Structure 1
Amino acid sequence: MKKATKIGVLAMAVLMIFSLVGCSSGTTSTSDTKKYVIATDTTFKPFEFENDKGERVGIDIDLLAAIAADQGFEYELKAVGFDAALGEVTSGQSDGMIAGMSITDVRKETFDFSDPYFDSGVVMAVSANDNTIKAYSDLAGKKVAVKNGTEGATFAESIKAQYGFETVSFPDSSNMYEDVKAGNSAALFEDYPVVGDAIASGVPLKIIGEMEKGSSYGFAVKKGQNAELIKMFNAGLANVKASGKYQEILDTYIQK
């Protein structure tokens, strides 16, 4: 009986040691750092685009990198296009998205947004050799090109009944520009920094009229999820603005 009791005690001791080892390995593991998946657009220069080396760059890309470095989180970037990025986040395939996404009341029903990181504006542009379109009223009976999900598209939709034009939607800026250059659409409405950069880069368009006030851009996650990611983005955004890094990024990509 005594011998059996000693064996039982030893067995229990061994089990307790293994149990403690198992518990301690979980708390000291360095693999607990979460890596977020962030979706973005593909062609929304100067916010996200590929440079001559095939590298993904732009205001959104550099800003995300600066904020991640400031806050100490890791991420995987998925350049899938604006519409696909919306789907990635709503389906849970991506944790968040940064893609020149305007903060609107409608989108707030589906997404939680960060603090605004850029204030946009909308302009109308036509082919560089077009001298017939001088005002919105000249668009009556014509087609106007817009890019899906942009402030330009929202603004065009808001005035098309008033001025009697039809909108044609495109998934990316380059195809929208080509449609206007080819004369299929008489004009386009686009976020000012985007079309301004395109013109500065040699795209044969010209801006007509004054800039309309647009909404602000924000980083987004699925509503009710990844609150910690939004919190880190906001904290990092405040820090990179205070350090001057934010303005440095804007100055790199926006033509003055």
Structure 2
Amino acid sequence: MKKWIKVLMVGLLITGLLVTVIGCKAQQNNNDSAQESQKGKLIVGTEATFPPFEMIKDGEYSGFDMDIIRAIGKSQGYEVEIKNLGFDALIPAVQSGNIDCVIAAVTIDEDRAKVVDFSQPYFDAGLIIAVKQETTGITTTKDLQGKRIAAQVGTTGADTCLKIKDKDPSTNVKIFESVGEAFMELQKGGVDAVINDHPVTADYIKTSGNDSVKMVGEVFSADSQYGIAVKKGNSKLLNDINAGLDELKASGEYEQIYKKWFD
């Protein structure tokens, strides 16, 4: 009788151990699956005064870039959190690790590529000159020499303004924190022209220009492309972002987002 009880107890002990092992294995599998599906929070820096790429509408971050980064986050298992910073503070913030990446219609150029790593290009941009509706005689950057011109701080438009001033020191350059401020200065007659990214200028004229602003001349710096910036050497995140962009393009979701904002 005692022998039978011992056998029974040993059997129960073995069964308990097996259940524990199987349970731990199942839990580990669940944890692995959770890690695969959710990699953590992605802190994204932007400058939300650059419609239609980034803006605040009804208290929410909205725009082409915002839809793109959220779609990338979803495809790659990240929870996306947006932080709004000044444009000239974005690159330092990603360098210091205060944010994980930047998406803010940032043009890929050699100087920026020295301090951050860029994703594959996700948008073809280009610059354009905007003037008041009644303005004549301005169609090229050469025509802007000696004029009053404006752009947003840290942008390729601002760089172009400074290059024009280098050629003609009498040129008066005004740099603003947001492109909206530059356009307001143009509308009130404080400057003769604004140099800015073509799609943003087109959107401004469509939504806020009130028939008082027009684009002149041809799009220049047409090879300008936007990229998503990450901290130098963060190859894991960069690979995830590029993989996400590839998936959006392959699935047709990128085209849907593009048509939503640039019909």
TM-score w.r.t. structure 2 length? 0.80
Query: What SS does the aligned partner of 1:106 have?
Result: helix
Q: Work out whether residues 131 and 193 of structure 2, in 8 Å CA contact, stay in contact via their aligned partners in 1.
A: yes
Provide runs of 4+ in structure 1 moved above 4 Å: 24-32
Shift of 1:137: 4.0
Q: Work out whether residues 39 and 97 of structure 1, in 8 Å CA contact, stay in contact via their aligned partners in 2.
A: yes
Shift of 1:132: 5.0
How many pairs align?
Answer: 233
Give the counterpart of 2:229 among 217, 220, 232: 220
Task: Between 89-98 and 159-168, report the one with greater CA deviation.
Answer: 159-168
Q: For each residue in 1:98-121, what CA deviation from the matched residue of structure 2 results, as whole angstroms up to 9, or x when unmatched? A: 111111111111101100101111
The equivalences for 1:85-104 within 5 A come to: 85-104=90-109
Residue equivalent to 1:67: 72
Distance across 1 between alignment mates of 2:112 and 2:68: 22
Shift of 1:134: 4.3
Shift of 1:163: 5.3
Distance across 2 between alignment mates of 1:214 and 1:185: 27
Q: For each residue in 1:234-256, what CA deviation from the matched residue of structure 2 results, as whole angstroms up to 9, or x when unmatched? A: 0110111111111111111125x
Aligned residues: percent identity? Answer: 36
Q: Cα distance 1:141–1:98, how it changes in 2: closer, same or farther (>3 A)?
A: same
Residue equivalent to 1:36: 42
Distance across 1 between alignment mates of 2:141 and 2:78: 46
Q: Work out whether residues 55 and 62 of structure 2, in 8 Å CA contact, stay in contact via their aligned partners in 1.
A: yes
Residue identity matched to 2:175: S
Q: Work out whether residues 40 and 77 of structure 2, in 8 Å CA contact, stay in contact via their aligned partners in 1.
A: no
Indicate whether 1:244 and 2:247 are aligned.
no
Query: What SS does the aligned partner of 1:94 have?
Result: coil
Q: Work out whether residues 140 and 217 of structure 2, in 8 Å CA contact, stay in contact via their aligned partners in 1.
A: yes
Residue identity matched to 1:167: V
Distance across 1 between alignment mates of 2:159 and 2:146: 19
Query: What SS does the aligned partner of 1:161 have?
Result: helix
Indicate whether 1:157 and 2:162 are aligned.
yes
Shift of 1:140: 3.2
Shift of 1:199: 0.4
Residue equivalent to 1:58: 63
Give the counterpart of 1:181 among 187, 191, 198: 187
The equivalences for 1:55-204 within 5 A come to: 55-162=60-167, 165-203=171-209, 204=212
Q: Work out whether residues 61 and 82 of structure 2, in 8 Å CA contact, stay in contact via their aligned partners in 1.
A: no
TM-score w.r.t. structure 1 length? 0.82
Shift of 1:217: 0.5
Query: What SS does the aligned partner of 1:124 have?
Result: strand
Task: Between 187-196 and 90-99, report the one with greater CA deviation.
Answer: 90-99
Residue equivalent to 1:17: none
Q: For each residue in 1:184-243, what CA deviation from the matched residue of structure 2 results, as whole angstroms up to 9, or x when unmatched? A: 111010000000000011313101111102411100111123x21111110110111111
Distance across 2 between alignment mates of 1:163 and 1:253: 38
Distance across 1 between alignment mates of 2:80 and 2:61: 14
Q: Work out whether residues 137 and 163 of structure 1, in 8 Å CA contact, stay in contact via their aligned partners in 2.
A: no
Task: Supply the RMSD in Å over aligned alpha carbons.
Answer: 2.4
Query: What SS does the aligned partner of 1:56 have?
Result: strand
Shift of 1:135: 4.2
